[in-house]
Structure 1
């Protein structure tokens, strides 16, 4: 569980990163399912345009997942010995995507929608392709011991 929590110290292997992401995805799907059922039971109708309450609940769910996901990204980036400004770009893209969603910007509609879509794709490529598949620095680095070497 320490992989999800601040302080953002230490390194994560690819396996730990994937396990952490699968746990967060499972939690997110379960929470989203509960929110959808609760909304339907309360008499709401799932519509094309979401109400302010739906947007606020969605935002709360994303923020609840964003903190542990940030810990995964930071620790995995440290394992790769990449500069931490790469994490700022990754998390900044997620925050920008959330703000654009709150503002009602749709993907692929207008310049801002295309911008959001491109940022989303680049973030997925980084989070999955680089953090998920590139082997970390062999041996210890400035962020700690190799997570693949038994202590």
Structure 2
């Protein structure tokens, strides 16, 4: 799977390794932007500045795409990402489901098993 497919298309499924790598890369992008804000003196009290604010907005869609594809691998709709709106329990639930549990074995309604290759 290429980076465009990973970050821009809601179609298909990804395994745990792709989910973690994709999420970590997006986090690194925001971290680098925060360091740039710190270096240029544009960081505000909340820990964000103009550069990291723009970077954070830029990674929202790719983050949703990566997470939705992981939910697809679990056989669930990408709308399950909204579980994050439930305080504390929602984040734990998503971490366990997307980060640690194996996806549906074999093909499902969202596409072929990413581990079959």
TM-score range (shorter-chain normalised) is 0.7 to 0.9
Runs of 4+ residues over 3 Å off in structure 1: 46-50, 56-59
Q: How many residue pairs get matched?
A: 114
Q: Corresponding residue for 1:134? A: 101
Answer 1 or 2: which has greater helix percent.
Answer: 1
**Equivalent residues in 2 for 1:8-19 (5 A)?**
8-19=10-21
Measure, in 2, the Cα distance between the counterparts of 1:49 and 1:70.
24
Structure 1's 122 and 62: CA in aligned 2 closer, same or farther, altered over 3 A? farther
Structure with larger Rg: 1
Structure 1 position 69 matched with structure 2 position 63: yes
TM-score in terms of structure 2 length: 0.81
Calculate the aligned-residue CA RMSD, in Å: 2.5
**Equivalent residues in 2 for 1:16-55 (5 A)?**
16-39=18-41, 48=45, 54=49
**Equivalent residues in 2 for 1:118-129 (5 A)?**
119=87, 121-129=88-96
5+ residue gaps, structure 2, are none
TM-score in terms of structure 1 length: 0.65
Measure, in 2, the Cα distance between the counterparts of 1:15 and 1:62.
23
5+ residue gaps, structure 1, are 94-117
